[in-house]
Amino acid sequence: MLYALLCYNSEETVFAWSKAEDEAVMARLGAVQDKLSAQGKLGPALRLMPTTTATTLRKSDPPMVVDGPYAETKEQLLGFYILDLANLDEALDVARELGLANPGGAYEVRPLLLYAPGVLSPEQLLAAAG
Amino acid sequence: MSDLAWIDAALTSARPQAIGALLRYFRDLDTAEEAYQEACLRALKTWPDKGPPRDAASWLIMVGRNAALDGVRRKSRLTELPDEDLISDVDDVETPMAERLDGAHYRDDILRLMFICCHPDLPATQQIALALRIVSGLSVKQIAKAFLVGEAAMEQRITRAKARIAKAETPFEAPGPVERAQRIAAVAAMVYLIFNEGYSAGADAAEVRARLSEEAIRLARLLLRLFQTEPEIMGLTALCLLQHARAAARFDADGAIVLLEDQDRSLWKRDMIGEGLALIDKAMRHRRPGPYQIQAAIAALHARAATPADTDWAQIEALYMGLERLTPSPVVTLNRAVAASKARGPAEALALIEPLEGALGGYFYFFGARGAFLLQLGRDDEARQAFDRAISLANTAAEAAHIRGQIDRLQADAKARLA
């Protein structure tokens, strides 16, 4: 079974860390990740840019683009995509197209700060996903 | 993380919101700060055992408010006179409920706190010092260090600034849309002042002063979280990030300035650049250009160029022309001329700056740029004269050293031609 671990914390606190604090946390996380890698268990891990960089497409009719992260509590996080796109406009085009296929809720577009591919090959990921 | 470290981080990030709300209650900066200090002391006592509260800011506001009210009550029992002026809203105060953090209060509280630091009577250095003390919560010692002055002098500067704003009319009512926009613009300017105070430092002080640039970025992000749809705040945040991303490449080992085109681009911080590019991308969708957005867009074009030769100078000149329309100034035209020299050649650039001598006759960069254009045109003697003027106007040793490098190059070329 593949699991996603979703990371939550106060971004005001995290982005106020000094370089030394940030590096210390990353080093501690790295130690855990190394162990998981050695066990052949770690898939992609990523860090998002702050919510100030987020733009949300509400899948209303017509869809509405709003600055900022998705902030409602009525809906829950159900999945996500990673895409390589030219810019925000293209990302919103993709979100609109996906929204037509699956109306309701919203897509939040957030650039990635960091992407670590992990040790699982595409075949292993596919097999584990069943 | 040790107890102290996480508590410190939580207190730092809750500070603007907590002091902003306490200022709304007590309408007095000193009372608000004391109330916040008291709340922090209690947090240090109780949080290590009980763990952090779910909402640190609300906790600090409630505890701080109650502590300050106890103080007022004690005082009023002694004097038998309730100090009504000190308690702005008795009904509100009697509500036993914790502060309800509805969006509008929260945003306007922090904005007001930042706004009082930008009082037009305060000189820029006092605005910055006050904001760093009150909003950011840096200690006087830390601020003094960043400004390279003694602690006592800084203490005095902050006390003086506080005295001046205490006399000024502080706007406590929730602002209307126009007023809010004006406050946001004033606060943005103050945040950019803080950034530049850090960014314009010479190599000798760059490390200490980087703290100021980082603090400005933190404040810009905070402002953007509060006002998420303001393209100029996106632009301001992007501008600070894109410029600060180059910090490590701006000086060489001897402390001399390294020009943009000579910088080792592998030293540029890609994560900051990525965030800056994402923000400017977001801002441009609004089609409401402003000075921060345009300057950020210019910085973004530099950041996107893998090598100096890849720089889109024509687009940069077009952006400076846009900036000239929005905020006409000889300095903007000078910058445009530098882009024009790359895009269209030194003769046209020189023609652009010739009319500026009256306005920029005391400006180091004017003569530096003129010297460079003349040098490219092969007018060496005039170039040397311009460089000599530039050296006489240099503000830092690094600036003078940079121009001397250009003169050395001229002399070397002259020798090579003779040989």
pLDDT band at residue B408 using 50, 70 and 90 as cut-offs: confident
Residues of B377-408 as b/e, b for ≥16 C-beta within 10 angstroms? Answer: bebbeebbebbebbbebbebebbbebbeebbe
CA dist., res. B269 & res. B299, Å (int): 13
pLDDT at B77: 64
Contact A115/B at CB under 8 A: no
Contacts of B234 in chain A (CB under 8 A): 52, 67
Contacts of B237 in chain A (CB under 8 A): 52
Q: Which long-range contacts link B344-349 to residues 24+ away (Cβ below 8 Å)?
A: B344/B317, B346/B372, B346/B373, B346/B374, B346/B376, B346/B377, B347/B377, B349/B373
Contacts of B221 in chain A (CB under 8 A): 15, 50, 52
Question: Please, what CATH class does the domain formed by B3-101 belong to?
Answer: mainly alpha
CA dist., res. B197 & res. B216, Å (int): 10
Residue A86 has pLDDT above 50, yes or no: yes
pLDDT digits (tens, 9 = 90+) for B243-256: 999 999 999 888 88
Question: What is the percentage of chain B residues whose pLDDT exceeds 70?
Answer: 92
Instruction: Pick B356 or B203 by higher pLDDT.
Output: B356
User: Per the CB < 8 Å rule, is A68 touching B229?
Assistant: yes
CA dist., res. A127 & res. B36, Å (int): 55
CA dist., res. A99 & res. A106, Å (int): 8
Instruction: Pick B155 or B10 by higher pLDDT.
Output: B155
CATH 1.10.1740 residue ranges in chain B? 3-101
Contacts of B12 in chain A (CB under 8 A): 13, 16
Residue B94 has pLDDT above 60, yes or no: no
User: Per the CB < 8 Å rule, is A51 touching B285?
Assistant: no
Enter the DSSP assignment of B251: B
Using an 8 Å Cβ cutoff, are A65 and A56 in contact? yes
CA dist., res. B385 & res. B367, Å (int): 9
User: Per the CB < 8 Å rule, is A16 touching B274?
Assistant: no
Query: Cis peptide leading into A62, omega within 30 of 0?
Result: yes
Residue B5 has pLDDT above 50, yes or no: yes
User: Per the CB < 8 Å rule, is A113 touching B275?
Assistant: yes
pLDDT digits (tens, 9 = 90+) for B159-170: 999 998 888 877
Interacting residues of B310 by C-beta distance below 8 A, sequence separation 6+ = B304
Q: Which long-range contacts link B385-392 to residues 24+ away (Cβ below 8 Å)?
A: B390/B364, B390/B365, B390/B366
Instruction: Indicate the range of A5-19, B244-258, B331-345 predicted with least confidence.
Output: A5-19
pLDDT at B104: 64
Residue B142, token pair as written in the block: 């830390």
CA dist., res. B263 & res. B303, Å (int): 12
Rounded to the nearest angstrom, the minimum Cα separation between A81 and chain B is: 18
pLDDT at B80: 52
Measured between alpha carbons, how far is residue B243 from residues A34, B282, B321 in Å?
34, 18, 20
What DSSP line would sit under B101-151, residue for residue? Answer: --HHHHHHHHHHHHHHTT-TTS-HHHHHHHHHHHTS---HHHHHHHHTS-H
> Which candidate in A13, A72, A110, A113 is best for mutational testing of the B interface (most B CBs within 10 A)?
A13
Domains within chain A, CATH numbers bracketed = 2-129 (3.30.70.1060)
Interface of A with B in 21-80 (CB under 8 A): 21, 25, 49-53, 55, 65-68
From the CA atom positions of chain A, what is the Rg in Å? Answer: 17
Question: What is the percentage of chain B residues whose pLDDT exceeds 90?
Answer: 63
pLDDT band at residue B399 using 50, 70 and 90 as cut-offs: confident
User: Per the CB < 8 Å rule, is B221 touching A68?
Assistant: no
Using an 8 Å Cβ cutoff, are B265 and B307 in contact? yes
CATH 1.25.40.10 residue ranges in chain B? 322-419
Q: What is the mean pLDDT of residues B342-361?
A: 95
Instruction: Pick B70 or B290 by higher pLDDT.
Output: B290
Q: How far apart are the first and last CA of chain B?
A: 67
Residue B371 has pLDDT above 90, yes or no: yes
CA dist., res. A63 & res. A58, Å (int): 6
Question: What is the percentage of chain A residues whose pLDDT exceeds 70?
Answer: 100
Residue B89 has pLDDT above 50, yes or no: no
CATH architecture for the domain at B322-419:
Alpha Horseshoe (1.25)
Helices (H), B117-268: 124-134, 140-147, 151-167, 177-199, 203-226, 231-244
Contacts of A89 in chain B (CB under 8 A): 281, 285
Rounded to the nearest angstrom, the minimum Cα separation between B128 and chain A is: 19
pLDDT band at residue B98 using 50, 70 and 90 as cut-offs: very low
Looking at the predicted complex, does its ipTM rise above 0.90? no
* DSSP H or E segment with residue A122: helix A122-128
pLDDT at A21: 85
Q: What global pTM score does this model have?
A: 0.87
User: Per the CB < 8 Å rule, is B271 touching A114?
Assistant: yes
pLDDT band at residue B401 using 50, 70 and 90 as cut-offs: confident
Enter the DSSP assignment of B100: P
Residue A37 has pLDDT above 50, yes or no: yes
Residue A108, token pair as written in the block: 């939040």
Question: Tokens 């038998």 label which residue?
Answer: B80
pLDDT at B4: 78
User: Per the CB < 8 Å rule, is B10 touching A10?
Assistant: yes
The SS3 call for residue B407 is helix
Instruction: Indicate the range of B5-14, B324-333, B348-357 predicted with least confidence.
Output: B5-14
pLDDT band at residue B419 using 50, 70 and 90 as cut-offs: low
Helices (H), B265-312: 270-284, 291-304
